[in-house]
Structures are given as structure tokens and as C-alpha cells.
Structure 1
Amino acid sequence: MSNLKTLLYRLPIGIVLTLELARSPGIASPTSSQSFFANQSTIQLAQSNPPPPPTNPDRSSAGGRRDPSNCPQDTEAATSSPLLTALSPTTKPGFTLSERPTFLVYVPKTSAKNAEFSLRSRESRGIYRTTVALTNTPNLINLTLPTQTPPLTVGQPYTWSFAIICNPNDRLEDRFVIGMVQRIELDSARLRQIQQASLKEQVALYQKADVWYDALAVLYQLRRSQINDPSINTAWRELLQSGGVDTINEEGKRERGKGKGNQ
């Protein structure tokens, strides 16, 4: 038993999270990294009634935050910026139409060099995992599932996590947040209406259909290309607040991107 406990304490965060949620086989982990407001990115929006919503993490803090504190070595930064936050709704289901959606995470100022993103099925089967370089924080990081990952199954809830690796030699010191996402489908007429609309109109249509993640992805794209448009910034804040994600302020002026859709 003592040997088992020793082994558990040495497991990386991906497996620690698995033990919390259930169990997990292997996870694909291709890597690549890129840049918020500096570069353009192509956000892929994929494709009748929505299925029952997934159960969101029962947390009062934004984005299903599980361990919001900063790394032990970053105690000074904790007083000057928001905490690690997953941009995932906590007051409503996190729906998407995309086969491979985009995820956003606010990372506070940290001396940690790397983080880890992972996606798991309802059965805690590992779908995707990758390492993210933290070269310039505070930052809003975007990650889009690459084409080699299987598309999300319609109607199935997934859990995603983002962990700051505070100490590579002791993954129990990781600081991590989690979110929930579920792919749904719309009838062809509503989908065609969205596809033919302007980006600003798409935001309103996604919100009307309660497709939170895709509305966020389009607003993220608009904020990068039209940074001085006050109506976009207002819509951004209102969308985050509608999902219970209300701790992000305007200090994030850059971003790091990863996965398909970042150029």
C-alpha cells in the first residue's frame, strides 16, 4: 500500500485528474504553440433540439476553477492580477456546434514555463493532451483541437482541463482549472442562417441558440481584429458574465495560440 501511495504522488496532472474523474487510457499529444490581439486566427465553426445539458462543475468560481491559487513561487503576482480562469460557463451548459472547438484560458503572471491542456470523454477516456509554453504572462491563451483528434461526438459531454506546471518534479503542485463542453446540432435552416451571417450577427445567433463556446470564439476573433470597437468589448464582457465567468478584466493584451486555426 505504501508503494501504491508513493506511485500516485508521482503521477502527472493528466493522470491525477483522471483518478479524480475516473480512469484514462493513453492520450495523443502533438505539440505546437503560437500568439491575443496581435495575430489573426481562423476559427473553425462546424456544425433538432439540443440534448439534455451536461452537468457543469458545481463550483462558485469562474470556469469550474478547481485550484485557483497561484504557484507557490508566484505569491507576489497573486495580488496584482486575476487568477487562472477557464473560459467555460458555470451557470449554463457549454454547448458548441464545432467538431473541434476552440478553448480559452486566462493565465495570470507566473514564472512557470509550461502548462498542460487535456480533453477527456464522459468515461474519462483521454482524447487529447498537449503542452503549452508559457512565455509571456499574464495572457489569454487559445487552443483549438487539431485535425488529427477525433471530432466531438454529438450529445456527449466532455471535460477539459488546463494545468500550470508549477514544479515539473512534483506535479501535485500544479494549479489547474476545468470546463465542460458538449457538441450539439442545429436544424439545417438555422445553421445556414448562421453561416451566411456577418461575424457580429453570428454572435447574436449563437447566443440565441445557446451555443456559448462558438459565440465566444467569434467574439475572440472580433476582439483581435477590431480591438477598439467598444460594442465588441461590451458583448465580450456580457457573454462571459452570462456564463458566470466574470473575473477577466481588460489587462490581457496578448495571447498565445495553439492547435489548428492559429496562423
Structure 2
Amino acid sequence: MKKHCLLIVLLFGGAFFSPVLAQPSTRPEPKPPASPPAPRPVQTTASVDVLTFLRSPDRSLPITRTHTELRSDSCFAAGSPPLTALVPRSTPARTATGHPTFIWYLPATADGGRPVHFQLDAINSNSTRLVYETRYAAGELAPGLVHLTLPRQISALTPGQLYRWSVSVLCEPDDPSASASISAWVLRELPSPAWLARQQKSDALERLRLNAVAGYWYETLAALLPRQSDQVQHYWQQLLSEEGLSAVALRSPTQQP
């Protein structure tokens, strides 16, 4: 009987105490941390420096800013912008000085040059008085942006007096009716003593801005014409574009006699 019990114990005990082999771990290896998402670009609005020009009330004076050639035998070379006075749409354009600078675009002529006539008149309700005139010989002016400053030997413009300036290209010197002409206005208005004092204390760029915000077209444009910096070039294109003169904004000033 004891033998049978011992056998049973050994049989069942072996079953309970059989060695258990360790199983290899099946836990997944940890994944490397995911890269953080790339930051979205921040959209910013670039600040644009804008030249503020004060436009004077429009008196609707007759003006010819551009010459549209209707003749088939035009004296101007094909592909150029027309003869153009660089003035604003509203009239009259103002100046603070008694000897302003007038600027116009002169297109290339078909065969190398034509005489050009400039004239400045004082205009009253019932009379016209010649103030100044000059004539350039054929070929004397190169095509491009032409400027003329009223000479110092000529009396300064009278404040409050209306003046009209005109440029004519004599396409056929023997036939004045064949001339290409433009005309515009200038009115002198005296600035305040406080404004003049501020001008005297300012640098060139600040003087330009002061002229513009006061509405002095002729001083503003004359200061912009050389376009000696990117900032001034930006102002030049902005101002001419706002006045419908983009066609001549990229033209170069001429070398004048």
C-alpha cells in the first residue's frame, strides 16, 4: 500500500514540479519619439512706405496733358509714349517757389529731332501776358524726361496768379498747325512761416515729404526726378501711377544743354 502511495505522489509531484522554460519577451520595442510638426510660416503684411500727396481742389481748367497724334505722317517714332506734361489730373498744380521746375516727356522723333518751343503765360479773365519763352533747336533735346527751371532773371511768379505753360514740338516748322502740343497750369501759393521753418530743419527726404503733404506738386516732382535711391524711385512710380502717368514713369531724365 505504501508503495502505491509513493508512486502516486511521485507521478503527480513530477507533474506539479516540472521545470518551466522562460519564454522570450514579446513586448514591442519602444518607437522613437515623433518629430514635432514643422511650425507654420507666419504670414505678415510688409509695411509699405507711401508718399502722401495732398491734391488741391479741382478747378476744372482746360488742360492737355498728352498729345494724341491723329496725323498719319506722325513726326514721332513708333512705340513711344506720347508727348506728356507731368502734372496731376486736378488743376491747377501748385508751387511754393517763384521759379518752379516744369517737367515733360519728349518722345523720340522719326528722323532724329524737331524744334521744341516752351512758353509760360500769365492768364487773366480777359487777357494773356507772355512771361517767358524759349526754343530748342532740332536735336538739341534728347528724348526722355525734360525739365526746365524758370530762370532767375525772370520775375518770380506772383502768388495767386494763374499761369499756363505749354510745350510744342514743331513737326513741320513751316506749318504751325502740324505741331504737337501740351499745356498745363501752375499756381503759386505761399507757405506759412512755421512750415518754412520746419523745412529748413529737415533733411532732403523729409523736405520731399513735407512738400508732398502740403500739395506742392512742382517741388515734389523736381525732388523725385533724379531718383537717386530706391525709396525715391518708389515714391516717383507711386505718384505718377496715381495720376495716370505710368506710361512715362520708367523713362529716364535727359542730359540737357
Give the conservation status (yes or no) of the 8 Å contact 2:96–2:219: yes
The superposition leaves residues 49-77 of structure 1 with CA deviations (integer Å, 9 ceiling, x where unpaired) of: xxx86735456xxxx33633287654672
Which of 205, 211, 217 is 1:206 aligned to?
211
Tell me whether 1:160 sits opposite 2:165 in the alignment: yes
SS of residue in 1 equivalent to 2:205:
helix
What residue number does 1:187 align with? 192
Judged with a 3 Å threshold, the aligned counterparts in structure 2 of structure 1 residues 72 and 137 are, in CA distance, closer, same or farther, namely: farther
Which of 127, 132, 135 is 1:131 aligned to?
135
Counterpart Cα distance in 2 of 1:136 and 1:57: 29
Residues paired across the two proteins, number: 197
Judged with a 3 Å threshold, the aligned counterparts in structure 2 of structure 1 residues 234 and 139 are, in CA distance, closer, same or farther, namely: same
Give the conservation status (yes or no) of the 8 Å contact 1:95–1:183: yes
What residue number does 1:82 align with? 81
What residue number does 2:96 align with? 97
SS of residue in 2 equivalent to 1:208:
helix
Shift of 1:200: 1.2
Shift of 1:135: 3.7
Counterpart Cα distance in 1 of 2:141 and 2:182: 19
Judged with a 3 Å threshold, the aligned counterparts in structure 2 of structure 1 residues 85 and 107 are, in CA distance, closer, same or farther, namely: same
Shift of 1:249: 3.5
Counterpart Cα distance in 2 of 1:66 and 1:249: 14
SS of residue in 1 equivalent to 2:196:
helix
The superposition leaves residues 13-72 of structure 1 with CA deviations (integer Å, 9 ceiling, x where unpaired) of: xxxxxxxxxxxxxxxxxxxxxxxxxxxxxxxxxxxxxxx86735456xxxx336332876
Rg larger for: 2
Q: CA RMSD in A?
A: 2.5
Judged with a 3 Å threshold, the aligned counterparts in structure 2 of structure 1 residues 136 and 130 are, in CA distance, closer, same or farther, namely: closer
**Which blocks of at least 5 consecutive residues in structure 2 are unaligned?**
1-55
Q: Which structure would you say has the larger RCO, counting Cα contacts within 8 Å and 6 or more residues apart? A: 1
Judged with a 3 Å threshold, the aligned counterparts in structure 2 of structure 1 residues 75 and 117 are, in CA distance, closer, same or farther, namely: closer
Give the conservation status (yes or no) of the 8 Å contact 2:225–2:253: no
Structure whose residues are more often helix by fraction? 1
Counterpart Cα distance in 2 of 1:99 and 1:90: 22
Q: Percent identity?
A: 31
SS of residue in 2 equivalent to 1:215:
helix
**Which blocks of at least 5 consecutive residues in structure 1 are unaligned?**
1-51, 259-263
Aligned runs of 1:240-251 on 2, under 5 Å? Answer: 240-250=240-250
Q: Which amino acid aligns with 1:247?
A: A
Judged with a 3 Å threshold, the aligned counterparts in structure 2 of structure 1 residues 163 and 76 are, in CA distance, closer, same or farther, namely: closer
Counterpart Cα distance in 1 of 2:141 and 2:74: 14
Judged with a 3 Å threshold, the aligned counterparts in structure 2 of structure 1 residues 83 and 177 are, in CA distance, closer, same or farther, namely: same
Counterpart Cα distance in 2 of 1:241 and 1:165: 29
What residue number does 2:118 align with? 117
SS of residue in 1 equivalent to 2:247:
coil
Q: Which amino acid aligns with 2:216?
A: V
Counterpart Cα distance in 2 of 1:190 and 1:85: 32
Shift of 1:87: 0.8
Counterpart Cα distance in 1 of 2:162 and 2:86: 16
